[in-house]
Amino acid sequence: MANETVFKRYEGNPIITPSAVPRANSIHNSAIVPFGDGYAGIFRVDEIDLSFTMHAGRSKDGIKWHIDAEPLKMESDDPEIPIPARTYDPRLTKIDDIFYFTWCIDSPQGPCIGLATTKDFKVFKQMENPLPPANRNCVIFPRRIDGKFAMLHRPSDRGHTPFGDIFYSVSTDLVYWGCHRFVFGTVNNGWQSTKTGPGPAPIETGEGWLLLYHGVWTSCNGYVYYVGGALLDLDKPWKVLYRTRDYLLAPTELYERVGDVPNVIFPSAAIVEDGNIRLYYGCADTCISIADAKLDEVIKFVKEHSF
């Protein structure tokens, strides 16, 4: 099976452009989940002064969206927790009746991970930052593993991260995180040789946790972002069962190649319904598109096209 036959792009791509929010310079790298009788999301909006904000949004079909014009506001019972001003790249996970979302904060010490909860996408309760700087690209697993909350994240740096290794960590209370385990990192050459990072919340399957991740190659003209796939052990997710040698998606369309940051496909949300995966991804740090695939075909591809 050729890689281009696994995920099929929606013919109406991109589905979200900067026109969806006043003052938006770009809207990309956003988190989306089923909610009520439709879908809800938290969207990265880079404004025309190039401040980074997050906005809540809703949709009946997951394609046509209404995104709030004003950025979402955080609440916290602890005055020591700083309310973030510059926020981006959210991820969403539902456990029981609570939605947990993580995002990246620009702090004076470098990028770090924020954590908050919501039940209605109206009230957002900010918690302690789970990890110290510098870190980014964090996502929480959709259920407890061995009785503990679990996450994947990518330690970073204060620059633009010319490296990228994915780690696994656990917590009993969402405050103190430990038992850090290396999952995987870059390879010597090819489309994931510069850095890797976790994408949407891992998907539980009978073959293991399906992780869709981004891999980056440094070309003579700069970074190029791709989508890869891996299967992780269900009980010990730091153990990699399969990892794609071949990418699943590459920037080939004009809206993926041309934008604020060219040649970027950034997977940030995946919804599984009736055996299908709908992947939401940022395009060229400018807009949002979707691609669909059969879950069993993605698993087959990952297993057959691995190292």
pLDDT confidence tier of residue 3, bands split at 50, 70 and 90? very low
Query: Is the per-residue pLDDT at 34 higher than 80?
Result: yes
pLDDT confidence tier of residue 2, bands split at 50, 70 and 90? very low
Domains of the chain and CATH, by start? 13-304 (2.115.10.20)
Confidence (pLDDT) at 179: 97
Please state, as a whole number, how many other Cβ atoms lie within 10 Å of the Cβ of residue 76.
15
Contact call for residues 61 and 10 (beta carbons, < 8 A): no
pTM beyond cutoff 0.85: yes
pLDDT confidence tier of residue 229, bands split at 50, 70 and 90? very high
Closest CA to 301 of 247, 265, 241, 238: 247
- Measuring CA to CA, how many Å separate 164 from each of 32, 95, 178? 24, 27, 19
pLDDT confidence tier of residue 288, bands split at 50, 70 and 90? very high
User: Which two structure tokens, joined as six digits, stand for 284?
Assistant: 């060229």
